[in-house]
Amino acid sequence: MTHPVLKATLDLGQSVWLDFINRQLMDSGRLTMLIEEGLRGMTSNPTIFEQAIAGSSDYDRDVREGIRHGWSALQVFEHLAVEDIVRAADALHSVYDESEGADGFVSLEVSPKLAHDTQNTIAEAKRLWSSVDRPNLMIKVPGTREGLPAVRVLLSEGINVNVTLIFSLQQYKDVLETYLLAMEDRANRKQELNRIASVASFFISRVDTSADKQLLAKNRSDLTGKAAIANACVAYRHFLEVTESSRWKNLAAKGARVQRPLWASTSTKNPAYPDVLYMHELVAKDTVNTLPPATLDAWKDHGQPAPRLLENLKQADRILEQIRAAGVDVDQITDDLIEDGVLKFAASFDQLLAAINTKMHGG
């Protein structure tokens, strides 16, 4: 039965996705229940898979199968990940069909080790796309300088892409421009646009974590907890400006879908903040919010969906100006977070392969 909070969120134009995947979620029937309640998609990343595989015995039989095949830890991981992603994609296919390809996606990330390697990102993305072989798959590619040319190639060749690790307004502008170019590439080749889907994963909470630390050091607690929401608001304004442009309307007339902003990293890191802060303040039309299980449960329990993003947008520039005037460089923070995010996901990937290696060798 549809959950009233999830339905109200969707009615306002925002799809709720789950930032989590593991075998138990699917074996237990909980994923099916969440989809019936109104869950519209799923995302994964190396950290999530590391927790799933290292933190349970659910995958041990498959690891032993990998040993019999003589696979490497990386090959074992890909086998496990593809199997989980296929199951999740099949579970969400009803949402994909019902929404005519707007929702029902599950995301699988290329190795974060390739964040600065365009050609190998393209090759790995194509291989994963072929292995999963589901129309409601999205391949996650980091929005780095080297990642964006890969994004353009993949989208123009008909592969759905979740562009991840976006932190700054300029980076977001570059991502949306890449999407437009890819759609124009397809349009110029007279290829269909209406079944290509993409989201731009704009990270939220980590911006506040970094900005708050600096603001508190400057005795500006009045500005804490505001940078991330304001930063997301100005990105959304750019989205609105682009979708009002004649350039976009020309593509839309040929069937192109908007590349929705996806609010990522939306669990609150500061326990002093409301647990649904980054849901509450960022509901808007044509957006996605991807939530870890605890935040999804909290949103269902006491979320109050309302179109607050547009209200917050009215004061976003002023808030960012006040933060800069206090001596906190938001642009520097977001630039640092991009590379820090790449390094953290790469470290998680190393831990993931190490955990599989341990299981493979009797640890």
Level-2 CATH architecture, domain 4-360 = Alpha-Beta Barrel (3.20)
pLDDT at 363: 56
pLDDT at 56: 87
pLDDT at 1: 85
Asked if pLDDT for residue 290 goes beyond 70, the answer is yes
Which residues in 52-67 are b (16+ Cβ under 10 Å) and which e? bbeeeeebeebbeebe
Average the pLDDT over 279-291 and give the result: 98
pLDDT at 197: 98
The lowest-confidence range among 269-273, 281-285, 298-302 is 269-273
Contact 197, 105 (CB under 8 A): yes
pLDDT at 54: 85
Contact 20, 51 (CB under 8 A): no
Phi, psi of 201 (to 5 degrees): -80, 105
Residues annotated catalytic, as ranges? 140
For residue 361, name the pLDDT band (cuts at 50, 70, 90): confident
Residue with tokens 């790995």: 124
pLDDT at 136: 98
Contact 14, 284 (CB under 8 A): yes
CA neighbor of 357 nearest in space, from 27, 33, 67, 136:
67
Which tens digits make up the pLDDT trace of 310-339? 999 999 999 999 999 999 999 999 999 999
Joined tokens for residue 254: 């040929």
Which tens digits make up the pLDDT trace of 33-43? 999 999 999 99
Distances (CA, A) of 352 to 50, 181, 345, 358: 5, 35, 10, 10
| In the chain, where the domains are located | 4-360
